[in-house]
Amino acid sequence: MTSSPSVPVSVAPNFITEIIGRDLASGKYPRVVTRFPPEPNGYLHLGHTFASFLDFQTAAQFDGRYHLRLDDTNPAGESQEFAEAIQDDLRWLGWDWGEKLYYASDNFERYYAYAVKLIELGKAYVDSVSGSEMARLRGSAFGVGTPSPYRGRSVAENLDLFARMRAGEFADGAHVLRAKIDLASTNMKLRDPVLYRIVRAHHYRQGDGWCIYPMYDFQHPLQDALEGVTHSLCSLEFVDNRAIYDWLMETLAFAPRPHQYEFGRRSLEYTVVSKRKLRRLVQGGHVSGWDDPRMPTLRAARRLGVRPQAIKAFASAIGVSRTNRTVDLAVYENAVRDDLNPTAPRVLAVIEPLAVTLSHLETRTLSLPYWPDDVVQASPDGLVALPGGERVKPEAAVRPVALSNTLYIERQDFSLTPPKGFKRLTLGGVVRLRGAGLIRADEVIYGESGEVTGLKATWLGEDSGGLKPAGVIHWVDAQSGLSAEFRLYDRLFRVPNPEGPNHDDSLPDFDPEQPGHEDAAQPASSDFLRFLNPESLKVTRGFVERSVAADPPGTRYQFERQGYFWPDPEDSRSDALVFNRIITLRDTWGKSEPALKGKTEPKSARAEPQKAEAPSLTPTQSAEVTRLRALGVAEAEAVVLARDSVLSAYFADTTRQAPQVAAWVVNELGAALRAGEVRLQVNDLPALADLLASGQISSRIAKDVLTESLESGEAPAGIVARRGLKVVSDTGELAAIIDRVLAANPGKLAEYKGGRTGLLGFFTGQVMRASGGQADPQAVGTLLKAKLDS
């Protein structure tokens, strides 16, 4: 294999790395520890790549540690085979978790002990209602839950029952252990979640040792804490579960404790990834197996020939955010091509052969370079790889290729009726054989039914007789070339979103972290099968140049003008070559389907201005608005104040400087007030407003001071006095600052003079910063404009 000089892939800065950076800086944790926790009940797919990459790479970048955890707490569907396949795929991607391999099931005993502790704390109880009854009692969104008749059981009774649950005295489903949290919570997750259920199932690791199994919400936080995880990353649908996570950590008093952070999922166009749909594809014979190269599994990508570096580059490219998104397939394809372009040596293969007999040619052996000039030139060490991986001087990176008077060219490279712009061979036309001189097509040989079966051509060497070759085509010598099978893979589905209601749209439908958990009660829809691409696999027979026979088995090539290929690891043999097409070359000429993606809709068409109606007020609120208006408070702020009990309680009976104070309370302090984080006294605000009104400070200074006193609680006017803040509007002083800023940014200045007037904001910001926020922004504005335009 070639050693790739490719760029290191990394997670771009995001909201999670920001949090980690803060936690590390504050010393909250000495080092970061993350984990990737797949359940071993299926194969890893492209979607998992993103989650595992985020978990592992983030830790690696912070010089932390990452764990692989098999989250095997539900025996149904889990197996050692899956557990091993997951590890295998992850190792293939290049991850190394060292000793840090965990099986959740190894800790069943410890979970049990924590459950007992919860019971002893009076925070958990054994419930004995049926599943449907429990659902009924939990209530629905608009009502509160009703306590089960068993909620009040004594600690002793709970302990006894729970022990007997474990001992196998009860039938499946007869009892459950529940947390005692809050049946009235608006967060349904908190309405006494189930912690343990009785299931008599054989566990692939624990055998029949247990007949009770812990639930995710109980087990996962514990396992994180037990492993010493610091940042537990999961996808967005677990936000509600975080409340249980925190409750458990606090109730059981773990310190230091892990925290859960959620990220948005990423799905990929043209891909289904639901486990049951994938199984349908396999069982229905639509694909050859879980590693059929068209499948979205990692095993399939691996068999297809995609390199792990490409998968990681893709994961790196799609970014992290708090929104579920569907990524353009082109991003994935680009990652695959980008990885292969500098790493796959070029050779020649003809996929759909057309025989050509050459005249005026003496058989010879050519020496052809494996790499085009641009790859050679881009090489950092000046060397390029041989197929075996050895890096050599460019002139040594060549292979012998025989050329005799019979050869094959691509059937598509000859046309009797060439379309406009056709740059290949036509009757009487001249074309260049890649690396082997020019030929002219003289005669067409037809078969019985009139089809073209061959050509007769003249080899011209470099002497075209003044004719300009139409283009360059690839070829394989018929005498020495090796017969091969080519498997031309394409996307499995015809539409971007085979499982959503709008097939042409994109819709996420997988959890990037967990191999499969759909509603088992719903029948799997087979609707998506309608969108199978009938041309997702095309098999042809053709020829490849003999040199490949000497190369190591796993060599990836670019078959020039065709795409990237490698021998199928399962089916290819030295005497019966089978090549998989990993991906085509980009083709800007054919521009077949992508052009008719048809999703460009002018935005203006859908954007109809909507009017936001004023909220309706209760009589009390109206009265409050009237009172505030009388104090001079602006309408908008009065309404907000009147409707928000926290804000109005804070504002209270303020009358002096009421309009300004109200504006600050609403616009600046609102969020902090509601979060209960404000130490600043409302009584201290009018004094600050006085300073503003008298022109001693600017509103910018006022705002800065406000944020500072928000936390410290120090009176803002006091801060102003202590720090000697005052608005700088002295023209001379400001002009000096402006001159300094302009001198420091000559490039920007030139751009501004060149017409980029938007830069005015940039300069204003710089001047404000240079003055420590004390410059009078209005004065700066006029002065700056005068200077810039002079």
Partner RNA sequence: UGGGGCAUCGUCCAAUGGCAGGACAUCGCUCUUUGGAAGCGACGAUCAUGGUUCGAAUCCAUGUGCCCCAGCCA
- Which residue in the set 81, 84, 169, 172 belongs to the binding site for RNA (CB under 7 A)? 172
What is the closest distance, in whole angstroms, from the C-beta atom of residue 321 to RNA in the complex? 3
How far apart, in Å, are the Cα atoms of 669 and each of 269, 345, 483, 638? 43, 62, 76, 15
Q: Between residue 193 and residue 252, which ones bind RNA under the rule CB under 7 A? A: 193-194, 197-199, 213-217, 220, 236-241
**Other beta carbons less than 10 A from residue 364's beta carbon:** 10
Spell out the residues 6+ positions from residue 175 whose beta carbon is closer than 8 angstroms to its own.
Answer: 126, 127, 128, 161, 165, 198
Q: Does 186 bind RNA (CB under 7 A)?
A: yes
Number of H helices, E strands in the chain: 26, 31
Among 74, 105, 232, 480, binds RNA (CB under 7 A): 74
HSE-up (13 A, CA, CB side) for residue 569? 15
In the range 499-538, which residues lie near RNA by CB under 7 A?
506, 511, 513-514, 517-520
- Residue pair 273/326 in contact (Cβ under 8 Å)? The answer is no
Please tell me whether residue 468 binds RNA under the rule CB under 7 A: no
C-alpha span between 316 and 321 (Å, rounded): 12
**Min CB(266)–RNA separation in Å:** 7
Residue (573 or 599) nearer to RNA, CB: 599
Site for RNA in 278-307 (CB under 7 A): none
In the bound state with RNA, the residue whose beta carbon lies nearer, of 287 and 500, is 500
Selected range binding RNA among 140-148, 304-312, 396-404, 620-628, rule: CB under 7 A: 140-148
- HSE at residue 106, side-chain half, CA atoms within 13 A, is 8
Which residue lies nearer to RNA by CB, 223 or 532?
A: 223
CB 573 within 8 A of CB 588: no
Binding segment toward RNA, per CB under 7 A, in 181-189, 203-211, 352-360, 619-627: 181-189
Please state the closest distance from residue 767 (CB atom) to RNA, in A: 8
Pick from 380, 416, 603, 620 the residue near RNA by CB under 7 A.
603
Minimum CB separation from RNA for residue 225, in Å?
A: 16
Q: How far apart are CA 631 and CA 620, in angstroms?
A: 17
Q: Does 138 bind RNA (CB under 7 A)?
A: yes
Among 9, 35, 36, 37, binds RNA (CB under 7 A): 37
- How far does Cα 83 stand from its chain's mean position? 23
Check residue 620 for interaction with RNA (CB under 7 A). Answer: no
Q: Output 532 or 669, the one with its CB closest to RNA.
A: 669
Q: How many residues does the chain have?
A: 790
Chain centroid offset of residue 104 CA: 26
Count of residues of this chain found to bind RNA when the rule CB under 7 A is applied: 141
Residue 750: strand pairing partners: none
Select the residue interacting with RNA from 157, 338, 352, 551 (CB under 7 A). 338
3-state class percentages of the chain: helix first, strand second, coil last, to nearest 5: 40, 20, 45
Q: What is the footprint of RNA within residues 82-111 (CB under 7 A)?
A: none
Segment lying near RNA (by CB under 7 A), choices 253-261, 329-337, 544-552, 727-735: 329-337
CA-based radius of gyration for the chain: 35
Is position 148 an interface residue for RNA (rule: CB under 7 A)?
no
Q: Which of 164, 202, 325, 656 binds RNA (CB under 7 A)?
A: 325
- Nearest-angstrom CA–CA distance, 15 and 21: 10
Q: Return all residues near 236 (Cβ < 8 A) that are at least 6 apart.
A: 262, 263, 264, 265, 322, 324
The contacts of residue 160 (CB under 8 Å, 6+ apart) are none
In this structure, what DSSP letter does residue 775 have? B
Residue 173 makes contact with RNA by CB under 7 A: yes
- Cβ 219 to RNA, closest distance in Å? 7
Cα→Cα distances 446→292, 408, 427, 754, Å: 38, 16, 13, 67
Q: Which stretch binds RNA (CB under 7 A): 48-56, 285-293, 571-579, 605-613?
A: 605-613
Binding mask 675-714 toward RNA (x if CB under 7 A, else -) reads: -----------------------xxx--x-----------
- Could you tell me whether strands 391-392 and 398-403 are parallel, antiparallel, or unpaired per DSSP bridges? unpaired
Distances (CA, A) of 59 to 63, 67, 99: 6, 10, 16
Q: Are 705 and 719 in contact (CB under 8 A)?
A: yes
Task: List 641's β-bridge partners, or say none.
Answer: none
Q: What residues from 716 to 745 belong to the interface with RNA (CB under 7 A)?
A: none
Please state, in angstroms and rounded to a whole number, the distance separating the CA atoms of residues 332 and 317.
9
Nearer to RNA, 255 or 605 (CB): 605
Nearer to RNA, 74 or 87 (CB): 74
Name the residue nearer to RNA (CB basis): 279 or 748. Answer: 748
Work out whether 627 is an interface residue with RNA (CB under 7 A). no
Per-residue binding string, RNA, 254-273, x by CB under 7 A, is ----------x---------
Tokens of 352: 């759909």
Distance CA 767, CA 789 (A): 17
- Min dist. Cβ of residue 560 to RNA (A): 4
Which span (60-68, 304-312, 565-573, 612-620) binds RNA, by CB under 7 A? 612-620
Q: How far is the CB of 246 from RNA (least distance, A)?
A: 13
Nearest distance from residue 16's CB to RNA, in Å?
9
Out of 25, 416, 595, 605, which residue is the one contacting RNA (CB under 7 A)? 595
Tokens of residue 110, six digits? 């410890």
| Closer residue to RNA in complex, CB, 288/415 | 415
**Eight-class DSSP state of 489:** E
User: What are phi and psi for residue 70, nearest 5 degrees?
Assistant: -85, 115
Establish if 434 lies at the interface with RNA (CB under 7 A): yes
Q: Of the two residues 285 and 761, which places its CB atom closer to RNA in the complex? A: 761
> CB 375 → RNA: shortest distance, Å?
6
Choose, by CB under 7 A, the member of 228, 289, 319, 718 that binds RNA.
319
Least spacing, CB of residue 292 vs RNA, in Å: 25
Q: What b/e sequence results for 734-770 when a residue is b if at least 16 CB atoms lie within 10 Å of its CB, and e otherwise? A: beebbeebbeebeebbeebeeeeeebeeebbebbbeb
Residues acting as catalytic residues: 39, 265, 275
Q: Which tokens in the block code for residue 164?
A: 């007997």
451 makes contact with RNA (CB under 7 A): no
Find the binder of RNA among 253, 255, 614, 652 (CB under 7 A).
614
Q: Is 471 in the site for RNA (CB under 7 A)?
A: yes
Binding segment for RNA (CB under 7 A), chosen from 186-194, 270-278, 575-583, 709-717, is: 186-194
Stretch of 89-97, 156-164, 350-358, 583-591 lying at the interface with RNA (CB under 7 A)? 583-591
According to the binding rule CB under 7 A, does residue 416 interact with RNA? no
Residue 135 binds RNA, judged by CB under 7 A: yes
Cα dihedral across residues 767, 768, 770, 775: positive or negative: positive
Decide: is 764 part of the binding site for RNA (CB under 7 A): yes
Question: DSSP secondary structure string, 519-579?
Answer: -TTSPPP-GGGGGB-TTSEEEEEEEE-GGGGGS-TT--EEETTTEEEEE-TTT-BTTBEEE
Q: Which of 31, 322, 364, 541 binds RNA (CB under 7 A)?
A: 322
Q: Of 427, 452, 759, 770, which lies in the binding site for RNA, with binding defined by CB under 7 A? A: 759
Structure tokens belonging to residue 424: 């290949």
User: Which lies closer to RNA via its Cβ, residue 292 or residue 408?
Assistant: 408
DSSP calls for 362-408: --EEEEEESS-HHHHHH-TTS-EE-TTS-EE-GGG-EEEEEE-SEEE
Instruction: Candidates 2-10, 390-398, 477-485, 631-639: pick the segment binding RNA (CB under 7 A).
Output: 631-639
Q: Around 254, how many Cα atoms within 13 Å sit in the side-chain half-sphere?
A: 19
- CB of 427 closer than 8 Å to CB of 439: no
The footprint of RNA on residues 552-581 (CB under 7 A) is: 558, 560-561
